[in-house]
């Protein structure tokens, strides 16, 4: 690699490391999985593994964050007491049974 082609790759690596440093455990897991898949896809799509890894990290981070939010909402719904279910309208009394 020449110095000219190495500079963009180094910049992408620095950005990816900055993203990893600012994420929590759940987000980092999504980022690592996404980066692995993105690196393979990028490599197969024309030797762009680093770009694919960064894009995969971003997508994995987003999906992990959405999943974490979904689980948090589910736990909040489970913690709230459920009001009793309304059985709905009652059937009208039968007119023939009332005249007996």
Whether this model's pTM surpasses 0.75 = no
Residue 96 has a pLDDT of 61
Task: Indicate the pLDDT class of residue 37, thresholds 50, 70 and 90.
Answer: confident
User: Do residues 16 and 53 touch, judged by C-beta distance below 8 A?
Assistant: yes
**Burial label, 26 (beta-carbon count in 10 A; 0-12, 13-18, 19+):** middle
Query: What pLDDT does residue 70 have?
Result: 94
DSSP state of 2: -
Q: What is the pLDDT of residue 91?
A: 73
DSSP 90: P
């Amino acid at each position: 690699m020449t110095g000219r082609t190495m500079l963009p790759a180094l910049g992408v690596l620095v950005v990816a490391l900055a993203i990893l440093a600012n994420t929590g455990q759940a987000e980092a897991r999504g980022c690592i999985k996404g980066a692995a898949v993105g690196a393979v896809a990028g490599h197969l799509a024309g030797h762009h593994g680093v770009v694919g890894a960064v894009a995969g990290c971003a997508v994995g981070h987003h999906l992990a964050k959405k999943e974490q939010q979904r689980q948090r909402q589910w736990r909040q719904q489970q913690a709230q007491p459920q009001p009793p279910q309304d059985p709905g309208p009652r059937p009208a009394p039968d007119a023939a049974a009332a005249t007996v």
